[in-house]
């Protein structure tokens, strides 16, 4: 036996009771609404003029005795309430025996035969429908009222939650501007615990960028460095003096220039290789420490702190704009576009069939 079948067998008596109570509740609520309508003088006069037989029958036997009739329904509801409570205790539906009346408070309040409290019985209808739906006895998801309720409930929740989130984000922005504890909390609770991951990520990205964009252009870098050295040496007075030495002057100057170029190129290449390797991690860590410490001590470097604050505020502003987008409108628009496209497709097929038939 499957879990679903066991569940249904366990609650089978309650399901039968729920269906029976649903019918009685609908009759009772219909009677309440009709009697309230009948109590209006204009309506009762209308019935008296156009349906005198029905008016006399309802007025003499039902309307006059409405409270007594409603009391009969209340007795049925209370009897069912205590029976279901006893059954729930026997079947150990809830963890404690006294949970039932607290969880079914609306049943008791709806039994009070006073004015508007009678309409609390609508909650009982709703709870029965939900129970039957959860037990797969009925399916509410495809009903018109469920679809509409879900749609507008989602809209209300989205609109309310969006405004709450925007208000919270505005409060965070104000705290950041005013130098409140938010900035310190971000650094101490978010950035510092993740500092090693940040350093690792920056180090890896730096290495990949150098390998991809810099180390592949060694010849270009070497030529650029050689040109710089050549231009600088041509302007050097000491080198010009050496070039004036007979026979060996130019050779010595060229050798010096070549030696300097090789040394500087080797230094640059070694530095770039170190930056592209795991060795750059220490440099990135030191740089990260300096940045975080500078942000923490705002008085020491106000400009960097202001930049970081501005970045945070702008990020929050983007989040606010994203939250303020009414997604339910976008969804409705998309559904409307799909319906229009489907309608146009059907119209096209129909017109094509008509043309072919002709």
Q: How far apart are CA 94 and CA 74, in angstroms?
A: 25
317 lies in some domain: no
* For range 217-236, the mean pLDDT: 71
335 lies in some domain: no
pLDDT at 7: 46
Q: How far apart are CA 125 and CA 136, in angstroms?
A: 17
- 132 shares its domain with 201: no
How many domains are there within the chain? 2
pLDDT in tens, 233-247: 677 777 667 667 776
Give residue 87's domain range: 3-140
pLDDT at 92: 82
Whether the Cβ atoms of residue 97 and residue 89 lie closer than 8 Å to each other? yes
- 54 shares its domain with 117: yes
- 195 shares its domain with 131: no
- 131 shares its domain with 216: no
150 lies in some domain: no
252 lies in some domain: yes
- 235 shares its domain with 119: no
Higher pLDDT, 209 or 148: 148
- 12 shares its domain with 136: yes
- 188 shares its domain with 100: no
Secondary structure of residue 236 in the 3-state scheme: coil
258 lies in some domain: yes
pLDDT at 73: 93
Which among 248, 270, 297 is the end of a domain?
297
190 lies in some domain: yes
- 205 shares its domain with 107: no
- 114 shares its domain with 226: no
Q: How far apart are CA 119 and CA 115, in angstroms?
A: 8
Whether the Cβ atoms of residue 37 and residue 103 lie closer than 8 Å to each other? no
User: Could you tell me the pTM of the whole model?
Assistant: 0.48
- 126 shares its domain with 239: no
Q: Please check the confidence at residue 353 and state whether its pLDDT lies above 80.
A: no
Lowest mean pLDDT: which of 35-49, 196-210, 280-294, 305-319? 280-294
281 lies in some domain: yes
- 81 shares its domain with 191: no
Q: How far apart are CA 176 and CA 190, in angstroms?
A: 15
Q: Report in angstroms the alpha-carbon separations of 267 from 206, 228, 262, 278.
A: 19, 15, 9, 18
**CB count in 10 Å sphere of residue 214:** 15
Which among 297, 318, 347 is the end of a domain?
297
81 lies in some domain: yes
Which among 297, 315, 333 is the end of a domain?
297
C-alpha torsion 280→285→290→294, nearest 10: 130
The secondary structure of 11-78, three-state, reads CHHHHHHHHHHHHHHHHHHHHHHHHHHHHCHHHHHHHHHHCHHHHHHHHHHHHCCHHHHHHHHHHHHH
First to last CA, the chain: 61
- 127 shares its domain with 243: no
């Amino acid at each position: 036996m499957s879990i679903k079948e066991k569940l249904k067998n366990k609650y089978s008596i309650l399901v039968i009771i729920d269906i029976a109570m649903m019918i009685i509740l609908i009759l009772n609520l219909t009677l309440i609404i009709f009697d309230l309508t009948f109590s209006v003088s204009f309506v009762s006069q209308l019935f008296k003029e156009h349906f005198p037989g029905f008016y006399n029958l309802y007025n003499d036997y039902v309307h006059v005795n409405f409270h007594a009739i409603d009391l009969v329904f209340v007795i049925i509801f209370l009897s069912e309430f205590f029976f279901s409570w006893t059954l729930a205790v026997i079947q150990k539906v809830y963890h404690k025996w006294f949970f039932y009346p607290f969880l079914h408070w609306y049943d008791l309040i709806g039994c009070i035969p006073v004015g508007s409290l009678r309409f609390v019985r609508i909650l009982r209808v709703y709870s029965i429908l939900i129970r039957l739906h959860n037990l797969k006895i009925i399916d509410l998801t495809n009903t018109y009222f469920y679809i509409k309720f879900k749609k507008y409930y989602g809209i209300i929740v989205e609109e309310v939650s969006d405004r709450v989130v925007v208000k919270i984000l505005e409060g965070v922005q104000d705290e950041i501007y005013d130098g409140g504890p938010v900035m310190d909390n971000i650094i101490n609770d978010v950035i510092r615990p993740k500092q090693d991951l940040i350093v690792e990520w920056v180090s890896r990205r730096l290495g990949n960028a150098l390998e991809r964009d810099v180390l592949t252009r060694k010849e270009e870098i070497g030529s650029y460095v050689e040109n710089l050295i050549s231009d600088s040496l041509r302007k050097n007075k000491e080198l010009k003096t050496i070039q004036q030495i007979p026979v060996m002057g130019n050779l010595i100057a060229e050798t010096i220039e070549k030696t300097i170029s090789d040394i500087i190129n080797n230094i640059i290449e070694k530095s770039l290789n170190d930056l592209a390797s795991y060795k750059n991690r220490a440099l990135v860590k030191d740089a990260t420490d300096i940045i975080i410490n500078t942000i923490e001590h705002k008085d020491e470097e106000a400009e960097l702190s202001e930049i970081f604050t501005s970045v945070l505020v702008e990020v929050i502003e983007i989040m606010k704009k994203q939250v303020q987008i009414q997604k339910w409108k976008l969804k409705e628009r998309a559904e409307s576009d799909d319906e229009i496209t489907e309608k146009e497709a059907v119209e096209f097929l129909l017109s094509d069939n008509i043309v072919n038939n002709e």
